[in-house]
Structure 1
């Protein structure tokens, strides 16, 4: 959905019986994919692990929230879910999240909580929860769960939110939960709900390309960034003096950039849509595979971020590598390194590693994702 802008570049080097290449793709979708960052899991022959470094979060001095908000979904932040996009705080045609970064799109009115594994649409489903007490004033529950790039914008007919729930919290406050799974909505209009009640399940309905919950909050009909609150200084950066989220949410869902939300090794040329759909989550790579590729999908890059990628064979020999300095703020960035072989691959464990370092500014100072895959 929206325009997909791709910039491709190729770098080819002869190496023995094959060649090594680098292809970079810069993507700016309205909603990008969200597989996995700092998880430690084994999926068939693939193992992914990662870690991040970030300065301590100081919440001293914050004033009480005018609408205290709790967790809007049941997941483990930083492990199988995270914020992928924030409210756009730029009043014009530009974009700016609450940390003056690029993890948003122009006009984005809510917060997108992404789920690590797209297969959870049908397995190990993720409950959506009430963040604050109120009265349900509207629901929708009949739209199919399908990537909008497949369904097409014309299928929406103005129903961009997909299946969802709207709640009136009183005092001019309202919230809206979008992209729920069809048939999962557990409330009806007129119901009174309290914090923690189940509203439904995270889904793929409406105008979305990835499995996530979009939730937005309003006061007297105007969007409020829950990381900022009512004191809306459009030029400021950082948490507001009285953010809406309670302390638990603020600590669990710290500013997520830079976010290595997906990485893998495959025996084909990868693409962003395939990553979004979980196509590469369970690779079965044989010794006669014509090529091997290490790929990574990154969100929230800033100008000056330092990025390194390494791809090694079972003996630790580097197959392909690249280091570079990011040249612009980017919402989403897709990159892969690989090698083609005419003689087949040595059986064993191949490793890909991507590291992003942020010399200064908000977010993580360092984040790493490491992928091991067994070639049989």
Structure 2
């Protein structure tokens, strides 16, 4: 009698299917789309613990499924592979690709096929670049899609170094965080409908992490979608459901979420799969951007200073350009390049006042290089008064030259602000956060240091602090040359609510007479009964520089549970940061019909009946609207929703402005001040939002 024997297992691959990123079968991918294949197979005779892989090989590049322990039955698995470059690609898919299972028949493990990608015939609109500004000056591209799907292997669409492993988008960013503070507009690359918005997260991240980011997703139709990531906090001007036009402002660049530096991460997807548009640039772009590796290098930012600025290059170092011979400073020159071509020759030359060369440094780096460089000549300048300069050239073409003056006596002050060892760049918009604290608890304090990098006494004066913050102890009236002085600010905990505002230090620094940065914090608890409540739930305020007034928040609301009347109540709107004489806060005239707000001089009407008088709103003077006996809750609410912002200068500054809006009732009880950011952009680009 023969003893029973266990039959050998078998894995039989029955079909392979080209699918999109959602797993739906397709005839062919479009050029640049990530290629997905589904394998279907039957397993018989396998032990329950048997584990194996499915190997997907496309164009000679192989990737595996996860280890599969599925037992017996019929199964399928689809996986993303390489990106579809032009031309025909051979495909081979093997079940048990690692030969981990002893089988009775190995010949039915593999199937082969091929595909040829097609042009994107259903793309509704070719893209325009999603960052406003001049390329290679205001921003540069740092990364493209990594088209090699293998972990640990990477290349961009040209086989170049502008990517990192697993990257699926374009990254484009400015020279410094200081540029982020000045505002870098992010635009809709094509018309579509906003499907998702997340805003409000910290926007000065410097490391990859799992922290949440600020982003906008847009559906362009026909299965096309773009995502824009890492916006500056509270700068997004659209909401889910909004229709957007090509070139319309979405918000401002930041470094929120998993991000090492300020930039836009812009991803294109078609039917759930990422797309590398530069495989067919004229099919995807109105005006295709130049490949970063082909772009002539430019210097985006540069400067001269007198201290080791290595740790401050991301923020933007403080400049010092007057060097007294009595000082023992080192002279430093720094610059940020838009691009350094592979194997290019970079030369840094220091020139004496008579034009002769003091020293020259040549570099011919291989592979991808950092974009920021800094050099120093120690104190070699000390015995040669006059104007020195430092210049950088690439392949013999001078790109930048900065100068500094060596003087035998005198000098200038130079203000620099720190929190601990971290530079607070002048005009910083990301608030220094005091955190959240319960009402009545011990106050939270933050200490800041004013460092005078110059050779003359720095005089200082602290402007009034924003509501909710106070000075602990004294404030230095001056800081000696090469010296430092500290001051401490407290978040007061007596009044519940979110606190926000600008700290401004006035100095005799010639190029930074005002040093400013923002602070924020929250005092939690319950407001006293009868406190008015104001809400401004809409997105940031979009403003096209030089255009007319824009409404601050069409969805604003106000309430006061115990208000028997609105007579004597007041609505206050103010510019909290960077206000100028050309700024305007006002109320939009709608008409005198039912439900309309009317404006005639300082008189405000609702439904044709005067309900308030308005004063101020010009320059930095707050707009105060005082309500009369005729005012009702619908009237107050309508006036709130008609508040507008504008700037009447012919060439206004595009600096960050934050607006504050609050209401006080007849008893004097005041609401928590609501803060709204104005996201501005230079003229020539659409910013009007069409609400859902």
Q: TM range, normalised to the smaller chain?
A: 0.5 to 0.7
1:29-48, aligned counterparts within 5 Å?
Answer: none
| Distance apart, 1:297 and its partner CA | 4.0
Q: Check the 8 A contact 2:292/2:339 in 1, yes or no.
A: no
Does residue 267 of the first structure (1) align with residue 306 of the second (2)?
yes
1:302-313, aligned counterparts within 5 Å?
Answer: 303-313=342-352
In structure 2, relative to structure 1, the CA distance for the partners of 1:298 and 1:80 (3 Å cut) is closer
Distance across 2 between alignment mates of 1:179 and 1:351: 37
From 395, 403, 416, the counterpart of 1:372: 403
Name the count of aligned residue pairs: 284
Does residue 293 of the first structure (1) align with residue 332 of the second (2)?
yes
| Distance apart, 1:286 and its partner CA | 2.5
Does residue 187 of the first structure (1) align with residue 238 of the second (2)?
yes
In structure 2, relative to structure 1, the CA distance for the partners of 1:190 and 1:253 (3 Å cut) is farther
Give the aligned partner of residue 115 of structure 1: 174
Does residue 317 of the first structure (1) align with residue 367 of the second (2)?
no
Distance across 1 between alignment mates of 2:338 and 2:180: 22
1:210-229, aligned counterparts within 5 Å?
Answer: 210-229=261-280
Distance across 2 between alignment mates of 1:206 and 1:193: 24
Distance across 2 between alignment mates of 1:259 and 1:109: 26
Give the aligned partner of residue 235 of structure 1: none
1:250-261, aligned counterparts within 5 Å?
Answer: 250=289, 255-256=294-295, 258=297, 260-261=299-300
Does residue 283 of the first structure (1) align with residue 320 of the second (2)?
yes
| Distance apart, 1:355 and its partner CA | 1.9
| Distance apart, 1:303 and its partner CA | 4.8
RMSD, aligned α-carbons: 3.0
Distance across 2 between alignment mates of 1:145 and 1:333: 22
**TM-score, normalising length from structure 1?**
0.66
1:330-341, aligned counterparts within 5 Å?
Answer: 330-332=368-370, 334-341=372-379
Distance across 1 between alignment mates of 2:398 and 2:173: 18
Q: Check the 8 A contact 1:311/1:319 in 2, yes or no.
A: yes
Give the aligned partner of residue 245 of structure 1: 285
Query: 3-state SS of the aligned residue for 1:276?
Result: coil
Query: 3-state SS of the aligned residue for 1:120?
Result: helix
Give the aligned partner of residue 5 of structure 1: none
Does residue 344 of the first structure (1) align with residue 404 of the second (2)?
no
Query: 3-state SS of the aligned residue for 1:340?
Result: coil
Distance across 2 between alignment mates of 1:321 and 1:86: 34
| Distance apart, 1:139 and its partner CA | 1.0
Q: Check the 8 A contact 1:320/1:337 in 2, yes or no.
A: no
Distance across 2 between alignment mates of 1:291 and 1:178: 40
Q: Check the 8 A contact 2:193/2:219 in 1, yes or no.
A: yes
Q: Check the 8 A contact 1:352/1:371 in 2, yes or no.
A: yes
1:347-362, aligned counterparts within 5 Å?
Answer: 347-357=385-395
| Distance apart, 1:112 and its partner CA | 1.8
Alignment gaps of 5+ in structure 2: 1-118, 408-692
Q: Check the 8 A contact 2:174/2:180 in 1, yes or no.
A: no
Q: Check the 8 A contact 1:129/1:199 in 2, yes or no.
A: yes
User: Looking at both structures, which has the greater relative contact order when contacts are Cα pairs under 8 Å and sequence separation is at least 6?
Assistant: 1
Give the aligned partner of residue 128 of structure 1: 186
Does residue 101 of the first structure (1) align with residue 160 of the second (2)?
yes
Query: 3-state SS of the aligned residue for 2:230?
Result: strand
Q: Check the 8 A contact 1:294/1:337 in 2, yes or no.
A: yes
Q: Deviations over 1:337-376 (max 9, x none)?
A: 322228835443322222223xxxxxxx967233233445
In structure 2, relative to structure 1, the CA distance for the partners of 1:191 and 1:255 (3 Å cut) is farther
In structure 2, relative to structure 1, the CA distance for the partners of 1:317 and 1:270 (3 Å cut) is farther
Give the aligned partner of residue 87 of structure 2: none
| Distance apart, 1:64 and its partner CA | 8.1
Query: 3-state SS of the aligned residue for 1:168?
Result: strand
Query: 3-state SS of the aligned residue for 2:153?
Result: coil
Give the aligned partner of residue 548 of structure 2: none
| Distance apart, 1:131 and its partner CA | 0.7
Distance across 2 between alignment mates of 1:341 and 1:69: 52
Query: 3-state SS of the aligned residue for 1:250?
Result: coil
**TM-score, normalising length from structure 2?**
0.38
| Distance apart, 1:104 and its partner CA | 2.1
| Distance apart, 1:183 and its partner CA | 0.8
In structure 2, relative to structure 1, the CA distance for the partners of 1:312 and 1:137 (3 Å cut) is same
Q: Name which one, 1 or 2, has greater alpha-carbon Rg.
A: 2
Q: Check the 8 A contact 1:119/1:278 in 2, yes or no.
A: yes
Alignment gaps of 5+ in structure 1: 1-62, 230-239, 358-364
Give the aligned partner of residue 76 of structure 1: 134
In structure 2, relative to structure 1, the CA distance for the partners of 1:214 and 1:298 (3 Å cut) is same
In structure 2, relative to structure 1, the CA distance for the partners of 1:90 and 1:348 (3 Å cut) is farther
| Distance apart, 1:205 and its partner CA | 1.7
From 167, 174, 182, the counterpart of 2:218: 167
Give the aligned partner of residue 197 of structure 2: 139
Q: Check the 8 A contact 1:136/1:188 in 2, yes or no.
A: yes
Give the aligned partner of residue 66 of structure 2: none
